[in-house]
């Protein structure tokens, strides 16, 4: 029995702790773990090696992924998937653990149907937009990076009596922006999931500025594509000098938080136990829902779109209207 791990799609903090736990735990179970470098592209190119403890020593605190990652168009073609399968056969690998998002999981589901290589997916994306799980690896670190940046930007905004518009990542999901706005004391939060009224918000802010407000913090999700619109609105309608900060890929890096490190260990441990304890599966994803770990099918993950909890959306209403 051969078992390997790879990382696919966008990187995130928490991947390296997961890789380390995979290697250490496999050795504890008497297995020889393998590492696949460069994601699905590495699977096609045969960038595979036997893992040693030295490969993962000292990586627990590092962001990103030592295995590197990729987004592979070639994997959509059968001939390249066959090439990937032949590479696994050379090493005797018939089980995979993949850290990534729903696109990566769908790719390996097709791989399983083609060649019978079992896999379990671990949700790893700062967007936190995978249906069926409350938490994805890397989210906590991203939120803490946003918190640190927002606190620092607020300091300088207050010093100059300015507004600041802070754009977070998340694709079409506003989770990062919403949680950051709630926990950083933002005055405005604009996300795809909530309607907004700039006229009423503007009237409220102008009254507060008149009564002594020194700054305005506006957190906006990249999926709204409204960052520069909000800068113009604050400057021309509200009447406060404003700067925009697009946090970008800083949110995907950095030292993993304690929470992300612990979740990485638990995700991997349960995933390895699961894939070793059954004969066949057509693709499972380990999820964390309502405080418990569980396994769901890829079809279930793809059956609907992730939605932010209603109570969090309710809490943000005062920042949108």
Both 9 and 131 in one domain: the answer is yes
Say how many domains are in the chain: 2
Please state whether beta strands 48-50 and 188-190 pair in parallel, antiparallel, or not at all (unpaired): unpaired
Residues 6+ apart with CB under 8 A from 96: 3, 4, 5, 6, 36, 108, 117, 118, 119, 120
Q: Is the pLDDT of residue 282 over 80?
A: no
From the number of C-beta atoms within 10 Å of its C-beta (0-12, 13-18, 19+), residue 139 rates as buried
Both 177 and 74 in one domain: the answer is no
Contact indicator for 282, 298 with CB cutoff of 8 Å: yes
Both 235 and 180 in one domain: the answer is yes
Q: What is the DSSP letter of 290?
A: T
Closest CA to 240 of 219, 217, 271, 272: 217
Cα 270 from Cα 268, distance rounded (Å): 6
Give the confidence band of 280 by pLDDT, cuts at 50, 70, 90: low
Which tens digit of pLDDT belongs to each residue from 54-113? Answer: 999 999 999 999 999 999 999 999 999 999 999 999 999 999 999 999 899 999 999 999
Half-sphere exposure of residue 267: CA atoms within 13 angstroms, side-chain side = 34
Cα 78 from Cα 263, distance rounded (Å): 34
Give the confidence band of 283 by pLDDT, cuts at 50, 70, 90: confident
**pLDDT averaged over every residue in the chain:** 96
Among 11, 38, 102, 127, the one annotated catalytic: 127
Q: Is the pLDDT of residue 27 over 80?
A: yes
Q: Is the pLDDT of residue 193 over 70?
A: yes
- Judge whether 319 lies within some domain: no
- Judge whether 216 lies within some domain: yes
Please state whether beta strands 48-50 and 33-36 pair in parallel, antiparallel, or not at all (unpaired): antiparallel
- Judge whether 315 lies within some domain: no
Can you tell me whether residue 131 is helix, strand or coil?
Answer: coil
> Once rounded to an integer, what is the mean pLDDT over residues 292-311?
94
Give the confidence band of 279 by pLDDT, cuts at 50, 70, 90: low
> Once rounded to an integer, what is the mean pLDDT over residues 179-199?
97
> Once rounded to an integer, what is the mean pLDDT over residues 147-162?
97
Share of the chain above pLDDT 70, in %: 99
Look up the CATH number of the domain holding residue 156. 3.40.50.460
User: Is-catalytic flag, 127?
Assistant: yes
- pLDDT at position 108, please? 94
Structural domain of residue 188, as residue ranges?
140-252
- The runs of H, that is alpha helices, within 66-212 are 78-91, 102-115, 139-160, 175-184, 198-210
Contact indicator for 154, 215 with CB cutoff of 8 Å: yes
Q: Is 8 left (phi over 0), alpha (psi -120 to 50) or beta?
A: beta
Q: Is the pLDDT of residue 164 over 80?
A: yes
Look up the CATH number of the domain holding residue 35. 3.40.50.450
From the number of C-beta atoms within 10 Å of its C-beta (0-12, 13-18, 19+), residue 33 rates as buried
- pLDDT at position 161, please? 95
Cα 138 from Cα 64, distance rounded (Å): 10
Share of the chain above pLDDT 90, in %: 96
Give the confidence band of 194 by pLDDT, cuts at 50, 70, 90: very high
- Judge whether 55 lies within some domain: yes
Which tens digit of pLDDT belongs to each residue from 230-278? Answer: 999 999 999 999 999 999 999 999 999 999 999 999 999 999 999 998 7
Both 115 and 20 in one domain: the answer is yes
């Amino acid at each position: 029995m051969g078992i390997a791990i790879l990382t696919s799609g966008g990187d995130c903090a928490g991947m390296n702790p997961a890789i380390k736990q995979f290697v250490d735990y496999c050795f504890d179970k008497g297995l020889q773990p393998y590492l696949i470098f460069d994601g699905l592209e590495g699977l096609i190119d045969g960038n595979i090696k036997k893992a040693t403890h030295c490969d993962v020593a000292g990586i627990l605190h590092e962001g990103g992924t030592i295995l590197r990652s990729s987004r592979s168009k070639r994997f959509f073609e059968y001939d390249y998937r066959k090439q990937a399968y032949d590479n696994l056969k050379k090493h005797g690998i018939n089980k995979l653990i993949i850290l990534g998002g729903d696109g990566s999981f769908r790719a390996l589901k097709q791989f399983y149907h083609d060649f019978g290589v079992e896999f379990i997916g671990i949700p790893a994306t700062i967007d936190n937009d995978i249906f069926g799980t409350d938490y994805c690896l890397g989210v906590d670190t991203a939120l803490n990076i946003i918190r640190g940046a927002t606190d620092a930007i607020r300091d300088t905004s207050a010093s100059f009596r300015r507004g600041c518009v802070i754009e977070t990542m998340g694709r079409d999901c506003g989770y990062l922006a919403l949680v950051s706005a709630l926990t950083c004391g933002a005055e405005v939060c604009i996300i795809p999931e909530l309607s907004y009224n700039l006229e009423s918000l503007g009237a409220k802010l102008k009254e507060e500025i008149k009564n002594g407000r020194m700054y305005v913090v506006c957190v906006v999700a990249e999926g709204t594509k409204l960052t520069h619109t909000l800068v113009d609105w604050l400057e021309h309608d509200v009447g406060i000098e404003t700067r925009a900060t697009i946090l970008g890929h800083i949110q995907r890096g950095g030292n993993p938080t304690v929470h992300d490190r612990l979740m990485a260990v638990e995700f991997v441990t349960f995933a390895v136990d699961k894939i070793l304890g059954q004969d066949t599966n057509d693709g499972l994803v380990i999820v964390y829902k309502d405080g418990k770990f569980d396994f769901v099918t890829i079809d279930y993950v793809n059956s609907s779109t992730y939605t932010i909890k209603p109570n969090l959306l309710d809490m943000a209403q005062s920042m949108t209207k």
